[in-house]
Chains A and B, each alone.
Chain A
Amino acid sequence: MKFKPVYFFLAPALTAIFVFFFIPVISAFIISFTDFDIYAIGDYSKFRFTGLDNYYKLFDNQLFWKALTNTFYFVIISGPISIAVSLGAAMILNSKLVKFKGIFRLVYFMPVVTTLVAVSIVWRFIYHPEFGLLNYGLSFVGIEKIDWLGDPFWSMPSIIILSIWKNFGYNMIIFIAGLQNIPEELYEAAQIEGANGWQRFTKITLPMLAPTTVFITIITMIGYFQLFAEPYIMTQGGPLDSTLSIVLYMYQEGFRWWNMGYSSAIAFVLFVIILAGTLIQMWVQKRREA
């Protein structure tokens, strides 16, 4: 049999993905049913299968529920707001009234390309209760000083504000592309029929953008569920665990305490949540089309 050249092209990438992605995924699944810990790292014979124990322990653990609730809080608030901000920015930048679009687009996009760790550090100082930029800005509208990162009530909103600022430019670009694909005639026809701005927005813009919006919702959700660097840098999960996220909890259990079995179970819960979220979005999209 002759060796086919196509395998020469496929082999490197597929082997790499298989060995360093698929095998780890399967291994993680297996490890999540064991008591793999720091002793087992030294000697692989020192772990045993414990069935669903890790999952039972997980669902019994207050801290896990706290991390889960915090992450959902973050995703549910941050997601829709940042998508709405992205859409608003896209619509303004798509307006025929505006010139110098390129410059504004560039400015709004700037936070997207920056390093998350670095901007988290910058924002940590911006949130400083005494000298921070934010409290200074708010003092002009008469708002009293807020202890953004020190108050369990404000800590998560602080992370939400940062992540909206950091991310809205990305979805804005996708929305601009989506808006440009809507035929101009639709708006002209609506204008002739006497539709006002709001009607044009709800009856033309939103329905025409639906596929784009679904795509954006999925990628935004997947990204937001993986919240990690912001709390790691700004609050270490505190105060009172108010910003502990699932991935931060997984990191602490797995790589600080080396409870690898338990930590893998956390990772799989994250996976199931993301999978369910994606499937729901896709199902909603299918139903809308049908």
Chain B
Amino acid sequence: MRKYLLYAFLIITGFLTLAPFIWMLSASFMFDGHASVFPPRFFPDEFTFIQYETLFSRLDVSRNLINSVLISTMVTVVSLVFNSMAGFAFAKYRFRGKDTIFKMLLSSMVIPSQVTMLPLFLMLKEFGFLNTYMAILVPGLANVFGIFLIRQYVMAIPDSLIESARIDGATDFQIYYKIIVPLAMPVMVTLAIFTFMGTWNDFLWPLIVFNDSSMYTLPVALANLMGEHTKDPELMMAGSVITILPVMLLFLVLQKYYIKGIMMGSVKE
């Protein structure tokens, strides 16, 4: 009996959690005005792709989609290289000031990124990076969370592996490239998903550094579109689907790594 109550509860709350997505999907396949009805429809009355066509033809959302894909990929790849090298250094080398630097980095995590935004904006303006991909890439080159995550993982790799490679004449870079990177692949994948999704979903920073609409990432383009289409739920829902779907699929494929990352991040102190 208790078991069935539990299941009923789980299914109802599960439905409530998914209801916004179901409605979003349903409305995105409707003609103009068909989602503004009472009671709300969980299934389109007449099925159409017209909203998606409008987005891609008239509103040129493909441009924003490309921006989002390229920016997120670039940030992910570059920061993965930077973070993994630094994480490796903190895990396996001894050098002066190591503990102090590491502690400083960790404590800097309480500084909200908003604090840096004004000076960073001025800096990027000086470099001529506003309205370019560099504006997102530059502040995302490396981050403390990434370094920390890699370090935790690499610390568990036995020193003997590194020692024996060294005896065989491997250089430090070969050790990083041929031993550490392959062995740390699971955590690299985890970090890659976090970075990709974080960059994809980010809103405030791209809103600040892009004012040329051809540079907008999907969230910024969507927010901008909302200003003109407050009365067009069908179109806005199609835009939301396009924005959400890629990260949702990515998560579904790699969820194991994502979940592991959350747990690793939570055992720090």
Say whether A113 contacts B247, CB under 8 Å.
Answer: yes
Say whether A131 contacts B115, CB under 8 Å.
Answer: no
Contacts of B266 in A (CB 8 A): 174, 177, 212, 215-216
Contacts A97-B2, A247-B204 given; does A12 touch B142 at CB 8 Å: yes
Q: Secondary structure of the A side of the interface?
A: helix
Contacts of A136 in B (CB 8 A): 38-40
B137 to chain A, nearest CB (A): 10
* CB within 8 Å of A: which B8-22 residues: 9-10, 13-14, 17-21
B116 at the binding interface (Cβ < 8 Å)? yes
Interface string of B105-149 (1 = CB under 8 A from A): 100101110111111111101000000000000110111100100
A231 to chain B, nearest CB (A): 12
Question: Which size bracket describes the interface of B in this complex?
Answer: 35 or more
A208 at the binding interface (Cβ < 8 Å)? no
> Count of A-B contacts with CB under 8 A?
252
Say whether B248 contacts A110, CB under 8 Å.
Answer: yes
Say whether A16 contacts B119, CB under 8 Å.
Answer: no
Which of B6, B120, B138, B222 contacts A118, CB < 8 Å? B222
Say whether A173 contacts B247, CB under 8 Å.
Answer: no
Say whether B95 contacts A6, CB under 8 Å.
Answer: yes
Which of B24, B89, B203 contacts A122, CB < 8 Å? B24
Say whether A125 contacts B236, CB under 8 Å.
Answer: yes
Say whether A16 contacts B243, CB under 8 Å.
Answer: no
A252 to chain B, nearest CB (A): 12
Say whether A28 contacts B118, CB under 8 Å.
Answer: yes
B48 at the binding interface (Cβ < 8 Å)? no
Say whether B116 contacts A275, CB under 8 Å.
Answer: no
* CB within 8 Å of B: which A1-54 residues: 4-10, 12-14, 16-17, 20-25, 27-28, 31, 41
Give Cα A132 to B171, complex, Å: 63
B18 to chain A, nearest CB (A): 6
14 contacts between A and B (CB under 8 A): A12-B85, A20-B141, A23-B123, A111-B17, A111-B20, A113-B251, A118-B219, A118-B222, A121-B226, A123-B20, A125-B236, A251-B204, A270-B112, A271-B110
6 closest A-B pairs by CB:
A5-B172, A13-B86, A27-B119, A13-B142, A24-B116, A16-B141
Q: Which residues of B contact A (CB under 8 A)?
A: 2-3, 6-7, 9-10, 13-14, 17-21, 23-24, 27, 35-40, 81-83, 85-86, 88-90, 93, 95, 101, 105, 108, 110-112, 114-123, 125, 138-139, 141-144, 147, 171-173, 176, 197, 200-201, 203-204, 208, 218-220, 222-223, 226, 233, 236-237, 239-240, 243-244, 247-248, 251-252, 255, 258-259, 262-263, 266, 268-269
